Each structure stands twice: as C-alpha cells, then as structure tokens.
Amino acid sequence: MVTDSDIPVTQVPETPAVNALGPVAGSAGFDQRRGGPGGPGGFNRGGQGGGNNRGPRRDDRRPDIDDGISEKVVFINRCAKVVKGGRRFSFSALVVCGDKEGKVGLGFGKAKEVSDAIKKGGQAARKNLTLVCIVNGTLPHETYAEFGGGKVLLKPASPGTGIIAGGGVRAVCEAAGVKDILAKSMGSSNHANVVKATIKALSSLRTRENILSSRGKKVREKSV
C-alpha cells in the first residue's frame, strides 16, 4: 500500500503575481519605467513616468509668462444651438491686448466655456500686435477710419484731458498707451467693427519725421 509519504515532492518555482492589468509593483518582471497600477505614471495621462503616458496637454507645456501685455475683454457673446436633447451653449470673446507703449492687438476666441474663449482671444491678440504712433501721450494729428459699418473719428487732446471715449474705442486706446484723446463713434455699434476701425485709425498715424524720411528728406532743425 502506497502512502503520501512515499510520493516524492517537487519544488514548484514561484511565479510573479499577475492581475488583469499586468504585473504588480515589487514582483519579478515589473518595469518601473513603464509604471503600472499604483506605480509611477501608471496609466494616467500626464502623470510622472512612462507606460501609456502621453505627456502634458498642449496648453500646459508652456507656462504663462508675464510679458507685460495687458488684456481687456470688450464683448462676450453666447450662442445657443438647439438639438434633440435641449440646448448647447458656446461662447465667443472679443479681447484687446497691448503693452501701453505703442502696441495693440485684437483677438477673437470661441469655446464651450467663457474662460477658454477669453484665453483663446488673448492668444490670438498677442499674435496680431500693431504699432501705433503716439507723441507725448496723445495723437500726432486727427484721423478717421471705417471698417464695415463702424466709423471712428479720433482727435488729439491737450495734457490732462484723459480718454474721452467709450466702449471698444476706450479699450483700444488704453491698451495702446494713449492718455489724452477725443474720440467719436459715428457708425454701427457693432463691437468688432468699432474696435477694428479704431485700430485701423491708430495704425494710420504718422509723425512729421516719418513722412519726411519716407520721402528721402531731412528734418530741418529750428534755429534759435
């Protein structure tokens, strides 16, 4: 009669613990670089480590840099799309930015959230900065411009007058660095057209020195 003590016992090698997602951290065959459930990086997008980590989102790769450019929101519009399940809202933002030293730009951003729309508008405005000729905090001469239905008249003012303007015209003048100005909007009240007409008027400004240099002439110095 054969008993259990007569059967030879064989040693079975230990196998690493494996679950549905792969080897467990600390067991043989676990790669720390790839990460795992509970390991560095893991399967979370944007975490620290490898594996299925695809890196940070595009908006987070470049941190916000203080470049000295100020932003001002001129107008925010809400659009509603009627679908079978109800309404879907989206937002658009008209943003003006400038360094208050002669540069100003306009940007238009659209997104599902207001903050994202403003952020997109600010980024677009930074890419479209326009140089503005400013003399002693005011304009060198009177100017007039039209864009679509928007008509804007800008006049220089004496020191201490301030910015006599409203709406989009004031936002553009403040961003450009104009301190004294008289402005009048005589056309459409559409914010985009008024702002674009204002930027067009400011970009057409020229000083006496600029005009003479473009003609190949020299500026005569006044004799005392």
The stretch 38-49 carries a mean pLDDT of 47
Would 177 be classed as within a structural domain? Answer: yes
**Are 115 and 166 part of one and the same domain?**
no
Would 39 be classed as within a structural domain? Answer: no
* Alpha helices (H) along the chain: 58-61, 114-126, 168-176, 191-203, 208-214
In which domain, by residue range, is 187 found? Answer: 133-207
> Domain holding 103: CATH number?
3.30.160.20
What is the chain's alpha carbon radius of gyration, rounded to the nearest angstrom? 32
Distance of alpha carbon 19 from alpha carbon 64, whole angstroms: 42
> Domain holding 202: CATH number?
3.30.230.10
Distance of alpha carbon 39 from alpha carbon 83, whole angstroms: 43
Of 108, 126, 125, the residue nearest 117 (C-alpha):
108
Q: Cβ distance 90 to 79 under 8 Å?
A: yes
**pLDDT score at 10:** 53
Number of domains into which the chain is organized: 2
What pLDDT, in 10s, does the model give residues 125-178?
Answer: 999 899 999 988 899 999 999 999 999 999 999 999 999 998 899 999 999 999
The first and second tokens of residue 214, run together, are: 């473009």
**pLDDT score at 30:** 46
**Are 123 and 149 part of one and the same domain?**
no
Would 82 be classed as within a structural domain? Answer: yes
Pairing mode, strands 163-164 and 181-185: parallel
For the ranges 20-24, 76-80, 173-177, which has the lowest average pLDDT?
A: 20-24
Would 170 be classed as within a structural domain? Answer: yes
**Are 137 and 149 part of one and the same domain?**
yes
Residue 7: pLDDT over 70: no
Distance of alpha carbon 72 from alpha carbon 94, whole angstroms: 9
Say what the pTM is.
Answer: 0.66
Q: Cβ distance 174 to 137 under 8 Å?
A: no
